[in-house]
Structure 1
Amino acid sequence: MVTGKEQRHVTVVQSENNRSEFTVRPAMAEDAEEIARLATELGYPSSAQEVEARLKSLVKDPEHAAFVAAKAGRVIGWVHVFVKHLLESDEEAEIGGLVVDARHQGSGAGHLLMQHAEQWARAKGLRSVYLRSNVIRKDAHAFYQKSGYQVVKTQFALRKIL
């Protein structure tokens, strides 16, 4: 979800295969159910209520944005991008998540969502976009590399429940 005049744009684009037309726009609370369905498809189970609460929080923060791709009015993908601040390096944008419905992968929707995230980052004055991708997602790695992203390191991710 986004705020600010520069972020209230809607883009309608013919897909690469010329069979579909996609609309990309800022995410809204009404999208929560479809965003939750897609997050669950990606492997991050979420309810519509949880996603709606998160969206309401994100919309208040100008350092976060979420965009959805819709086809015939139905959300088929989303991207979340935010400003990452670190002590040891310059701030940059980070992709918090990108997912396109499995039935629409390869349609161009993912590229369009990433382009919107990158445009948002440029408008914030950021010079790079960082993302993380699970080692098992080989198709995603190929997609990102085809989109100009380079592997910069391999990580070991850890979490501690508090």
Structure 2
Amino acid sequence: MKYTLRVATPDDAPTISRLSAMFGYRDDADAHRRRLHILLAKADHAVLVAVSDDAVTGWLHVMLRHSLESESFAEIAGLVVDEQLRSTGIGAALVAAAENWARQRGHHEVRVRSNLSRERAHAFYRRQGYAATKHQQVFAKRIS
């Protein structure tokens, strides 16, 4: 399959939103467009898309994470490939692009979090050379 990678634009929001819905996230193009505007303006974030036949077929969000207790690293915050095109190399190419983006910024580690139920994603990341290092729970509290 032929595809190219490029930086996302706000015009990609409807397709990014549709792809995100494949993982159960809300299909809200306006919200994705608003978030894209914010993320694309930040030097420590990148949103990349894979394009095939003029259609976005996958996206990846990578960001730099800084903390007091450890060295900074890059983190893949999201990765979605059209369910009809999985296992065609698009995801691997997006991950490799994220790794290159991190390397160009002087970072030597990329991390990714994946829901425990997404076993196919875990196998994909292992094939890309990633190893599980921690199991944890995520706690959230609405503070409106």
Superposition TM-score, scaled by structure 1 size = 0.86
Query: For residues 43 and 81 of structure 1, what CA distance do their matches in structure 2 show?
Result: 20
Equivalences, count? 143
Matched, 1:43 2:24: yes
- Among 83, 87, 90, which residue is 1:102 paired with? 83
Query: For residues 89 and 67 of structure 1, what CA distance do their matches in structure 2 show?
Result: 26
Query: For residues 52 and 25 of structure 1, what CA distance do their matches in structure 2 show?
Result: 17
Matches within 5 A, 1:77-116: 77-116=58-97
What SS does structure 2 have at the residue aligned with 1:21?
coil
Identity %: 41
Query: For residues 27 and 38 of structure 2, what CA distance do their matches in structure 1 show?
Result: 16
**Gapped regions of structure 2 (runs ≥ 5):** none
Question: What displacement does 1:30 show?
Answer: 1.0
Query: For residues 66 and 46 of structure 2, what CA distance do their matches in structure 1 show?
Result: 15
Please tell me the root mean square deviation across aligned C-alpha atoms, in Å.
0.7
Question: What displacement does 1:77 show?
Answer: 0.4
What SS does structure 1 have at the residue aligned with 2:68?
coil
What SS does structure 2 have at the residue aligned with 1:151?
coil
Stretches (4+) displaced over 4 A: none
Query: For residues 77 and 111 of structure 1, what CA distance do their matches in structure 2 show?
Result: 11
Matches within 5 A, 1:1-162: 20-162=1-143
Query: For residues 159 and 104 of structure 1, what CA distance do their matches in structure 2 show?
Result: 33
